[in-house]
Amino acid sequence: MAKHQQVSGGAAEETSAAPSRRSFLGTGAALAGGAGAGLVGFGLGTSRATGSAAATTASGAIASAGAASGGEGAAATEWAGAVVPFIGPHQAGIATPPQAHATFLALNLVPGVGKEGLRRLMRQWTSDASRLQRGIPTLGDPQPDLASPPSRLTVTVGLGRGALAEAGLLDRAPAWLAPLPVFSVDKLEQRWNDGDVLAQVCSEDPIILAHAVRALLLSASGIATLHWQQRGFRRPVTSTSAMRNLMGQVDGTVQPADGELDQAVWIGADGPEWLRGGSSVVVRRIRMDLDTWDALDPQAKEQVIGRRMTSGAPLTGTKETDVPDLTATVDGLPVIPDFAHIRHAAVTSVAQKILRRPYNYDDTPAAGSSAEAGLLFVAYQRDPLAQFVPMQERLAAKDLLNFWTTPIGSAVFAILPGPAEGQTLGQALLG
Partner 1 sequence: MRTNMIRAVTASAALALTLGLGACGGSTTTTSTTTPAATAAKANGQAASVTVSDPWVKAVDTGMTGAFFVLKNTGSSPVHLVSAKSTISPMMQLHETVMGTGGTMAMQEKPGGFTIPAGGSHEFKPGSDHVMFMGISAPVKSGTTVTFTLAFEDGSTLPVTAEVRTFTGAKETYVPGATTGSNSMPGMTGSGMTTGSHG
Contacting residues toward partner 1, per CB under 8 A: 10, 119-124, 127, 130-131, 136-140, 142, 144, 218-219, 221-223, 421-422
Q: Which of 128, 194, 196, 251 is catalytic?
A: 251
Which residues are paired to 411 by β-bridges? 283
Tell me the C-alpha distance between 284 and 411, whole Å: 6
Residue among 7 and 136 whose Cβ is closer to partner 1 = 136
Exposure string for 94-132, b = 16+ CB within 10 A, e = fewer: bbbbbbbbbbbbbbbbbeebebebbbbbbbbbbbbbbbb
Tell me the C-alpha distance between 230 and 376, whole Å: 8
Measured in Å, how far apart are the chain's first and last C-alpha atoms?
24
Give least dist CB 407 to partner 1, A. Answer: 35
Tell me the C-alpha distance between 55 and 23, whole Å: 6
Handedness of CA 112, 117, 122, 125 (dihedral sign): negative
Tell me the C-alpha distance between 428 and 294, whole Å: 49
C-beta pairs of 321-326 under 8 Å, 24+ apart in sequence: 321/46, 321/253
Residue among 122 and 335 whose Cβ is closer to partner 1 = 122
Give least dist CB 120 to partner 1, A. Answer: 3
Residue among 121 and 164 whose Cβ is closer to partner 1 = 121
Give least dist CB 140 to partner 1, A. Answer: 4
Give least dist CB 252 to partner 1, A. Answer: 36
Give least dist CB 86 to partner 1, A. Answer: 11
Q: Please say if 251 is a catalytic residue.
A: yes
Give least dist CB 150 to partner 1, A. Answer: 13
Residue among 9 and 38 whose Cβ is closer to partner 1 = 9
Residue among 123 and 276 whose Cβ is closer to partner 1 = 123
Tell me the C-alpha distance between 380 and 201, whole Å: 15
Give least dist CB 117 to partner 1, A. Answer: 8
Query: How many C-beta neighbours within 10 Å does residue 342 have?
Result: 18
Residue among 142 and 181 whose Cβ is closer to partner 1 = 142
Residue among 51 and 142 whose Cβ is closer to partner 1 = 142
Give least dist CB 383 to partner 1, A. Answer: 31
User: What is the pairing mode between strands 333-334 and 329-330?
Assistant: antiparallel
Residue among 33 and 142 whose Cβ is closer to partner 1 = 142
The residues carrying an active-site annotation are 251
